[in-house]
Structure 1
């Protein structure tokens, strides 16, 4: 079975292409399932469209859901189109996001931490001038938020759990035991993590998460799934077969897919 659970489109302001174009790309690549999971609005903001270049407007959310559901019907029998969303995780607003998501029939929700200590994880200059102690604390704060996202009950998948290395490859070398602690929590709350191939488009030049994290995740019993994090139709399913093979080499026997917020496992 071939699938891709992490794709975006033009509503978020930094991806290109319509949802239909991503569905058609998935068919062209022989996928059985395509998950549409654009960035959630900033529901807590008084503004309708707080950051137009980052996420869709609040007033676009229901039309986004309606479009995906319409395409799900239209493409039935050709490909399974799944309704997802990549949700930011803000602990102080978790209940508000929960209320919004309960209104719609999601197949899955990806929980992603994009903001740590008030700064975007991909902000290039955020590491400048930090001491080794401050860098370690930043990494621990990042993984604490991922832990909290796992505990929240909001998500089925946790997104790109070492993406902070994207524009700071040295992130991976910061020594801390927090990753193992976080993986234990993810296992306890029985969430899947994605192998996200968009890291290849960043300075780090590799997938999220790194192989050593996937090895530890397997040790703790954490399930894995696949997401390209495509922001162009041409990246749909990118490196799917390479990821499948790498997971086999690490020792995984199966990986996860989702429908109606239920997890199913299929052989790699």
Structure 2
């Protein structure tokens, strides 16, 4: 049996454009036999609010397309899909970008509705006083790729220690998606201690780690590092932005997670656990 997909986006995430559909995504989830799905819509910010914690005089750049989540419309569509697909457990949720830097802004969103699944994500690094996506830093060619990855992992530890609003850490090697073809092949082993530092911090906090199947799929050895550092739970996330990708590669991800020592949880809706 496939696990729940705890990381899915619909038309209410700013980066799905016209391709996202909560209704069609639910239909696909039922078709492939998922027990549950969580619509964790993007919550990113383009300005610092009063209670946020910007690192120094840092500007937020290249976020012209980012829009706020329409919580009222989102929750109305969620209820409509719950009525239409009673065989599927449909969870509300958000994916919070840099919650340790935007605590006031995130709190305002969380207070605006009921969210059952909250993901924590790092989509940016600070470079020369600007918050900028790793993909753009790669494109600028201003530092070695390995240095950027290490800076990103350092930021993840800060995120984990600086925010307690999320339950699951999403795509913890996010820049790997955009690894330049001109660079040496990405080597998980090269960053073993950085991964382990992130995993130790997350395990100490008692939260779950996501295996993200939109990113390059992890090796069983990498997932075993999470187990060895005390990780208790694994969440599966397709990070789907279009309906056909919900649950993508979950059969392979299950093999990876099982090989690392994790098993299905207390029921079919639970995280997988050690």
TM-score, normalised relative to structure 1: 0.80
1:99 paired residue number:
108
1:162 paired residue number:
173
SS of 1:166's partner is: helix
1:108 paired residue number:
117
SS of 2:41's partner is: coil
Question: Alignment length, in residue pairs?
Answer: 248
After superposition, the Cα gap between the structure-2 partners of 1:62 and 1:42, relative to the gap in structure 1 and judged at 3 Å, is farther
Given candidates 131, 136, 146, the residue that maps to 1:123 is 136
Deviation at 1:185, TM superposition (A): 0.5
Given candidates 185, 190, 202, the residue that maps to 2:206 is 190
Give yes or no for the alignment of 1:247 onto 2:247: no
Deviation at 1:112, TM superposition (A): 0.9
**Considering only aligned residues, what root-mean-square deviation do their CA atoms show, in Å?**
2.9
Given candidates 47, 68, 75, the residue that maps to 2:78 is 68
8 Å contact kept, 2:125–2:132: yes
Counterparts of 2:165 and 2:38, CA distance in 1: 17
Counterparts of 2:221 and 2:118, CA distance in 1: 25
Counterparts of 1:235 and 1:5, CA distance in 2: 13
8 Å contact kept, 2:8–2:240: yes
Deviation at 1:254, TM superposition (A): 3.4
Higher-helix-fraction structure: 1
Query: Which segments of 5 or more consecutive residues in structure 1 lack a partner in the other structure?
Result: 200-205
2:15 paired residue number:
14
After superposition, the Cα gap between the structure-2 partners of 1:162 and 1:19, relative to the gap in structure 1 and judged at 3 Å, is same
8 Å contact kept, 1:165–1:172: no
2:160 paired residue number:
150
1:30 paired residue number:
33
8 Å contact kept, 2:99–2:120: no
SS of 1:84's partner is: strand
8 Å contact kept, 1:4–1:34: yes
Ranked by relative contact order (alpha carbons within 8 Å, sequence separation 6 or more), the top structure is 2
Equivalence map 1:128-147=2 (5 Å): 128-131=141-144, 135-147=145-157
Counterparts of 1:112 and 1:256, CA distance in 2: 26
1:203 paired residue number:
none
Counterparts of 1:197 and 1:18, CA distance in 2: 19
